[in-house]
Amino acid sequence: MLLAVDIGNTQTVIGAYRGRSLEHRWRISTDLSRTADEYRILLTGLLSRVPLPLRGAALSSVVPTAVSAVRPVLSELVDGPVVVVGPGVRTGIQIRIDNPREVGADRVVNAIGAVERFGAPVLVVDFGTATTVDVIDSSGAYCGGAIAPGVQVAGDALAAAASALRRVELTAPRNATGRNTTEAVQSGLVFGWAGLVDGLVRRICTEQRLGALPVVATGGLAQLIGPVCETITHIEDDLTLRGLLVVLELNS
């Protein structure tokens, strides 16, 4: 079995693979105060359902403190290499931006997973703490993209800044024209972010002279926002895990 772990700002996704088959998948909250001992207890409990031995693990994270806590725990639990996505790790993808070290590990891994699954060119839209649109050109190189606030972040900021508004459940309302305040906020967040993504995708495709191509949604809110976007062609909940598996194979 092989293990893939992606630690985001809000959620952590863990997958256990048998070959190329995802056998187990867990999505838990990211806790920046969690210690190595707490990760050891958590991972040991989750992995009790997984046939041993674990032959390798790949880890990506945009939270440096979490990497410091999780990496030694994985080294204890895994009978094989533990690969942390970062400088010096083989990814199989060129990074063609001004400063390659600036691009987050999650965006690189998403690009790897998208190219492995759909080929190139391809766009990836990640609905996470931030909403990102990433461009992989016809040669399979990562060319940059766009970063916007995440849907939940925007909703929280709106509730905090507007005294007459409160946090609402993130769900698609019946119509874009809300008949009450709750529906109006839901419309702005769900349909508004769909419009934001569609606008960015169309602008990027025009700018990069891209024709018809796969536009893949992933991330914690992909199942909510993706279906109401006009430009999204595929929703892949496990895109990041798929990319991590490729990285592990390249570095084993």
The residues annotated with a catalytic role in the active site are: 106
Q: How far is CA 123 from CA 8, 90, 107, 144, in A?
A: 20, 21, 11, 10
Token look-up 């905090």 returns 160
Amino acid at 179: R
Whole-angstrom distance, CA of residue 70 vs CA of residue 84: 10
Tell me: cis bond preceding 121? Omega within 30 of 0 counts. Answer: yes
Distance CA 240, CA 218 (A): 8
Rounded Cα gap, residues 131 and 178, in angstroms? 24
DSSP summary character for residue 101: G
185-to-123, 158, 168, 211 alpha-carbon distances in Å? 28, 9, 7, 34
